[in-house]
Amino acid sequence: MNAVDLASLLCSRLCHDLMSPVGALNNGIELLGDETDEDMREKCLELLADSARATANKLKFFRLAFGAGGGFGDEIDTGEAHAALEGLFGAEGKVRLGWVVESDKLPKGAVKLLLNLALLAGDALVRGGQLDVGAERGGGEIELAVRAEGPRILLDPVLRETLASGGGESIEPRAAGAWLAHSLAAEGGGSIRLSDPSSEVLMIGATIPAQQ
């Protein structure tokens, strides 16, 4: 898959995820224009505020996870990554986020890889649960680890295969993040490890050279 194909897949994923909050913004504006009852207008404004917040949070996350990291140097403040994940998963309260990253900064590729792994694990928590994200730098390597635990874990076999091996010649839009994660690890001279399929726990780990 070339760069144009990857960009197309990531755009498809971004559009899919933004469809709901942007659609809610449009609906809220239409309702606000027709509504005269003050209580209903207040509810419309609350809907608009929630939808705008969700849209901004998703864009902030995708900028770090999928984008080129414009405005950042070779290393990214891990606080930015933490805030992006909190905005993506924390607002609804369905997924509880644990953050165990000691380094104040990590290489851009490591942050992008960590966020994509966290996104895949968080999406696998179909009924909510706990998402723990960790990173440790030492001995010339960076260890990344993501653990998802909940009443039901569902990581599509296509995503699992794409993470592990890069998938086949044709990649579906829903697997764009998995393909990007696999590519980031491979290009950085590292590898991704996954736990065996389980109904309640998913663990994804990656090791990459610290000087990438």
List the chain domain ranges: 3-209
Would you give the end-to-end CA distance of the chain in angstroms?
A: 22
Low-confidence stretches of the chain (pLDDT beneath 50): 212
CATH fold group of domain 3-209: Heat Shock Protein 90 (3.30.565)
Is residue 10 within 8 Å of residue 66, measured between CB atoms? Answer: yes
| Contacts of residue 124, Cβ cutoff 8 Å, sequence gap at least 6 | 148, 153, 154, 155, 202
**What's the confidence (pLDDT) of residue 143?**
95
Q: What is the pLDDT of residue 181?
A: 92
- For position 166, what pLDDT does the model report? 83
Q: What is the pLDDT of residue 185?
A: 93
Res 211: pLDDT = 67
Give the predicted TM-score (pTM) of the model: 0.86
Contact by Cβ (8 Å): 130, 99: no
- Would you call 171 helix, strand, or coil by DSSP? coil
Q: So what's the pLDDT on residue 130? A: 96
Q: What is the pLDDT of residue 18?
A: 76
Whole-number pLDDT of residue 126: 92
